[in-house]
Amino acid sequence: MLTAEQNELLTRVGPGTPCGEMMRRYWQPIAAVSELTGPKWNKRVRLLGEDLVLYRDKQGRMGLITEQCPHRRASFAYGIPTDDGIRCPYHGWEFGHQGQCLSQPNEPEKSSFKTKVKTPAYSVEEMGGMFWAYMGPAESKPLLPRIDGFVTDGTIRMLGRTLIPVNWLQIMENSLDPIHTEWLHGHTYEFIKEQRGQSQKVAISTRHEKIAFREFEHGITKHRLLAGHSEDGDDWKIGHPVVFPNTLSVGNGDETSRYYAFQIRVPADDTHTLHLWYTAYVPPKGVKVAPELLDKVHVYDVCSSDLQRWN
């Protein structure tokens, strides 16, 4: 059981907090590429306790900037894209992708005031049909984690998401609790169905004979052996990697057909977490799939009013 102090340490994610600074050293998925196509060129993002705006400039490059303009705090969600960044809707100050003020249309022509104005801005890169943000120090920026499920070509990609009013650790620790699947997703689910007169047995209610946890280079693998299953099965032999700090990775299949699945718990702030479930499915060889369905993330939101507000 965590103490109150340990809980604070691990769940406060704002700027300057130990956990927040740790989280800022990792790339976080913030939006689907398919959301920002055509006329839609920006969206609000709440990430690690900061209100931001993700945008595409007129050259097609992505930027991520603090939502409020440093001048009079107007919102860049109502801004204007430029060739090199974004312009504030209120007095037209323009900011580049590194947050530097580039122009102030109503200052005297020779004024150097713009060189003294800067606002927080962060790196954005694209992978697996999603935009990812890095908010840590530039000198510590790692490469995007090019895990095969995000970069395998010829896949059908789905992104589900919902915003949950809990801190990121409350969801993440669930990924290291194998037994709950047998009960919550198994017996409890069956009981609810039974009460509705819809008797339904689910495979996951099978008893766990053994569970185990093993540390590996990038986190912990979780292993389960269900009654009647072999120790040579993937669930026991390979397990499900919980990739530090906030991703559960699950997959299955072989050379003919396989899928990759990730559950990523992106801390929006101290008390809200954007829960993403991302699946990349490799269709069986010989099965024809319409080209427009491939390698593009199809988004479905399980809506909460907060999620709508941030969209």
- Please say which residue, 72 or 207, places its beta carbon nearer to ligand FES: 72
Report the residue from 14, 34, 57, 90 that binds ligand FES according to the rule CB under 6 A: 90
* Residue of the chain from 25, 61, 91, 193 that contacts ligand FES (CB under 6 A): 91
Confirm or reject binding of residue 307 to ligand FES (CB under 6 A).
Answer: no
Cα gap 286→188, rounded to integer Å? 39
The answer to whether residue 184 forms part of the interface with ligand FES (CB under 6 A) is: no
Cβ contact 14:269 at 8 Å: yes
Stretch that binds ligand FES, among 47-55, 89-97, 169-177, 192-200 (CB under 6 A): 89-97
* Of 26, 41, 55, 93, the one binding ligand FES by CB under 6 A: 93
Residue 302 CB coordination number (10 Å): 12
Q: How far is the CB of 308 from ligand FES (least distance, A)?
A: 26
The tokens for 118 are: 């800067």
Of the candidates 74, 77, 127, 261, which one interacts with ligand FES according to CB under 6 A?
Answer: 74
CB 226 within 8 A of CB 206: yes
Which range binds ligand FES by CB under 6 A, 23-31, 57-65, 83-91, 127-135?
83-91
Of 93 and 168, the one with the shorter C-beta distance to ligand FES is 93
Here's the x/- map for ligand FES, 16-55, by CB under 6 A: it reads as ----------------------------------------
4 Rama sector, left if φ>0, alpha if ψ -120 to 50, beta otherwise? alpha
Q: According to CB under 6 A, which one of 12, 71, 141, 298 is a site residue for ligand FES? A: 71
Q: Does 88 bind ligand FES (CB under 6 A)?
A: yes
Q: Which of 48, 64, 69, 248 binds ligand FES (CB under 6 A)?
A: 69
74 versus 176: smaller Cβ distance to ligand FES? 74
Q: Tell the smallest beta-carbon distance from residue 104 to ligand FES (Å).
A: 8
Q: Write out the residues near ligand FES by the rule CB under 6 A.
A: 69, 71-72, 74, 88, 90-91, 93
